[in-house]
Amino acid sequence: MDFKIAVLAGDGIGPEISVQGVDVMSAVCEKFGHKVSYEYAICGADAIDKVGDPFPEATYQICKDADAVLFSAVGDPKFDNDPTAKVRPEQGLLAMRKKLGLFANIRPVQTFKCLIHKSPLRAELVENADFICIRELTGGMYFGEKYQDNDKAYDTNYYTRPEIERILKVAFEYAMKRRKHLTVVDKANVLASSRLWRQIAQEMAPNYPEVTTDYMFVDNAAMKMIQEPAFFDVMVTENTFGDILTDEGSVISGSMGLLPSASTGESTPVFEPIHGSWPQAKGLNIANPLAQILSVAMLFEYFDCKEEGALIRKAVDASLDENVRTPEIQVADGAKYGTKEVGQWIVDYIKKA
């Protein structure tokens, strides 16, 4: 294959982990005889500082023309502390989602055996957890009509049938490729939008007779994910609920720094770590590059390059087994490895494989 990759490094630790992702991408392409080229583009706080827009038109064009976007992280505390800031890095994220039509956010929640002790949950509860959260990413209250003045405010949780059908289709198809168990999460006992979600899911379910589909209220799902995470295989939900549940899912694994995600839809898909820009760690060579590197695995898998993805996953597992780890997951008396060193080790592993 011939990959044209848009690289959006963003803020904080973004640039450091981005380099490791790119190096792994290149190493795998070389090994498997794929061509790859990179176009670099600015986003986030970096882009606000440079051109006053967290997702500039030029960046959009580069993304649109690419086969995939390798994204790192955006966000800078200087904006958090300034409620009057008119443009904020997060708006760049939302603009990217909307402009690229990234309606499906896919987040695998997976535990790594050697990191189970890092989970806030008791080991026996999480060790078998292995599920995928699918979050609708371009609808709902995020993009519905809004109003605010000094005395009242509202957001509109608006969904149309096509928006719901396309995301449920993604979810049913993921379930077919996995353990064939789909949980549709909503609040159909209260919300009209949820009732439409549930109705459409019930209409579609007969088309996937092998899939066991169940329906769960979002408050129950928030509990179940803690009490029995191994219950889930594929979970799908709307944007706002998904924001909360995917983050909840990511911490139960205890491996936040290792979890990648994909956002797919109408145009170029985006692959990125689930963690943020960790501004405090910027430039210190301590950030874990594994979530970024596993995003590259997801990228290959998206293009049906299964062996490529598998090799990256094997390299990551090997690095963990050999204690080639960044400080936050290093064992008590283990050697110190930085962002670069972990990335380099994985690149070497891939080359030698």
Ligand X SMILES: CC(C)[C@H](C(=O)O)[C@@H](O)C(=O)O
Choose, by CB under 8 A, the member of 151, 210, 304, 333 that binds a second copy. 151
Contacts with a second copy: how many residues (CB under 8 A)?
A: 55
Instruction: Give the residue from 203, 194, 144, 196 showing the smallest Cα distance to 169.
Output: 203
Asked if 141 touches a second copy (CB under 8 A), the answer is yes
Q: Quick one: which H or E segment has residue 279? A: none
Tell me if residue 142 is catalytic: yes
Q: Please tell me which residue in 65, 82, 247, 348 is annotated as part of the active site.
A: 247
Asked if 245 touches a second copy (CB under 8 A), the answer is yes
* 299 half-sphere exposure, CB direction, 13 A CA radius: 33
Q: What distances in angstroms separate CA 263 from CA 63, 111, 266, one per listed residue?
A: 13, 21, 10
Tell me if residue 82 is catalytic: no
Stretch that binds a second copy, among 52-60, 113-121, 167-175, 262-270 (CB under 8 A): 113-121
Tell me if residue 38 is catalytic: no
Least Å from the CB of residue 217 to a second copy: 9
Asked if 40 touches a second copy (CB under 8 A), the answer is no
CA angle 29, 267, 31 (to 5 degrees): 5
Residue in the block written with tokens 């898909």? 269
CB nearer to a second copy: pick between 39 and 90: 90
Q: What residues line the site for ligand X (CB under 6 A)?
A: 90, 93-94, 189-190, 219, 243
CA dihedral 80, 86, 89, 93 (to 10 degrees): 130
End-to-end CA gap in the chain: 20
Q: Token pair for residue 162?
A: 């096509």
Q: What distances in angstroms separate CA 14 from CA 154, 157, 231, 237, one per listed residue?
A: 34, 32, 34, 28
Asked if 280 touches a second copy (CB under 8 A), the answer is no
Q: What distances in angstroms separate CA 163 from CA 80, 159, 295, one per listed residue?
A: 32, 7, 25
CB nearer to a second copy: pick between 101 and 144: 144
Tell me if residue 247 is catalytic: yes
Q: Please tell me which residue in 60, 142, 159, 174 is annotated as part of the active site.
A: 142
CA dist 69 and 289 (Å) reads 17
Q: Would you say 260 and 291 are in contact if contact means Cβ atoms under 8 Å apart?
A: yes
Binding mask 55-84 for a second copy (x = CB under 8 A): ----------------------------x-
Q: Please tell me which residue in 67, 130, 155, 243 is annotated as part of the active site.
A: 243
Asked if 144 touches a second copy (CB under 8 A), the answer is yes
**Residue 248 binds what, of ligand X, a second copy, none (CB under 5 to 8 Å, by partner type)?**
a second copy
Q: How many CB atoms sit inside 10 A of residue 175's CB?
A: 24
Q: Please tell me which residue in 49, 65, 219, 321 is annotated as part of the active site.
A: 219
Question: Which spans of this chain sit near a second copy (rule: CB under 8 A)?
Answer: 83, 88, 90, 94, 119-122, 125, 141-142, 144, 146-148, 150-161, 187, 189-193, 195-196, 198, 202, 218-220, 222-223, 226-227, 240-241, 243-248, 250-252
Could you list the active site residues?
142, 187, 219, 243, 247
